[in-house]
């Protein structure tokens, strides 16, 4: 028996559009972001995927993404579990700053280290390692038991909380995760075995 894990990054947010570091700030989706969320919901439906359990973060852009996906999937009467453990990486003092302005001020390389290195946090914020330290225990405690039992679990969350999960599930090195990007609205789908380990990644 295998479980199915569907990870979906929220659709484009108002701050993605403005190119601002967002982290724990709380912008909503843009029109495009709403369309992306709906398209992913439609694609899951077209593939006959009906999740048993639904998780999201404590942030509006991920919650709204999940709501729109559910609408497209004609799934309206379900329990949604929202948890801060699935929130985006906290961007600390960078939150609200423009990413290009930050590159001008601190240099391309430093900003890339803050955005993509495994263990260097942005000033006052979380590294990917820090993010994983809250996201993974939640995943292990709440979600893995469901996957081991053969359930289908949908998680709508964020670029970096999902990168932390992807790193652990695929067993990627800090170097490999540095290059891994997840687009807005993009689904990543895994089959997970009864032992909780990755069986295969599935493309829609």
Active site residues: 10, 88
Binding-residue pattern over the window 119 to 148 for ligand 3PG, x denoting contact by CB under 6 A: ------------------------------
In the chain, what's the furthest Cα-to-Cα distance?
52
**Taking CB under 6 A as the rule, does residue 36 contact ligand 3PG?**
no
Considering beta carbons, is residue 70 or 182 the nearer one to ligand 3PG? Answer: 182
Stretch that binds ligand 3PG, among 41-49, 75-83, 153-161, 165-173 (CB under 6 A): 153-161
Sheet containing 53-56: order of strands: 80-82, 53-56, 152-157, 3-9, 187-192, 198-202
198 forms beta bridges with: 192
155 forms beta bridges with: 7, 55
**Taking CB under 6 A as the rule, does residue 23 contact ligand 3PG?**
yes
Stretch that binds ligand 3PG, among 16-24, 102-110, 148-156, 187-195 (CB under 6 A): 16-24
**Taking CB under 6 A as the rule, does residue 118 contact ligand 3PG?**
no
Judged by CB under 6 A, which of 115, 153, 164, 188 binds ligand 3PG? 115
* E-only strand ranges, 12-141: 53-56, 80-82
Judged by CB under 6 A, which of 54, 55, 91, 139 binds ligand 3PG? 91
**Burial of residue 33 (number of CB atoms within 10 Å: 0-12, 13-18, 19+):** buried
Least distance in Å: CB of 14 to ligand 3PG?
A: 11
Contact 141, 53 (CB under 8 A): no
Considering only residues 160 through 179, tell me which ones interact with ligand 3PG, judged by CB under 6 A: 160
Nearest-CA neighbor of 158 among 2, 19, 52, 7? 7
Determine the Cα–Cα distance for residues 62 and 134; give it in Å rounded to an integer. 17
**Angle made by CA atoms 192, 166, 140, in degrees to the nearest 5:** 60
Stretch that binds ligand 3PG, among 20-28, 70-78, 100-108, 164-172 (CB under 6 A): 20-28
Q: Does 60 carry a binding-site annotation?
A: no
Tokens 């540095």 belong to which residue? Answer: 178
Contact residues: ligand 3PG, CB under 6 A: 21-23, 88, 91, 115, 158-160
- Residues belonging to the binding site are 9-16, 22-23, 61, 88-91, 99, 115-116, 159-160
């Amino acid at each position: 028996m295998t479980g199915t894990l569907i990870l979906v990054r929220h659709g484009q947010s108002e701050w993605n559009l403005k190119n601002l570091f967002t982290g724990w700030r709380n912008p909503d989706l843009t029109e495009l972001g709403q369309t992306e969320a709906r398209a992913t919901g439609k694609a899951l439906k077209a593939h006959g995927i009906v999740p048993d359990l639904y998780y999201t973060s404590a942030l509006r852009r991920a919650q709204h993404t999940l709501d729109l996906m559910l609408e497209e999937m004609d799934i309206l009467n379900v329990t949604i579990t929202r948890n801060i453990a699935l929130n985006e990486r906290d961007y600390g003092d960078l939150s609200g700053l423009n990413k290009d302005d930050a590159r001008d001020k601190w240099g391309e390389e430093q900003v890339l280290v803050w955005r993509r290195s495994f263990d260097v946090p942005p000033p006052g914020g979380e590294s990917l390692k820090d993010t994983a330290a809250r996201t993974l225990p939640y995943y292990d405690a709440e979600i893995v038991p469901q996957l081991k039992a053969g359930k289908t679990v949908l998680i709508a969350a964020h670029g970096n909380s999902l990168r932390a999960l992807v790193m652990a599930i695929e067993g990627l090195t800090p170097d490999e995760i540095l290059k891994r990007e997840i687009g807005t609205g993009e689904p990543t789908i895994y089959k997970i075995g009864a032992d909780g380990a990755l069986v295969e990644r599935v493309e829609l």
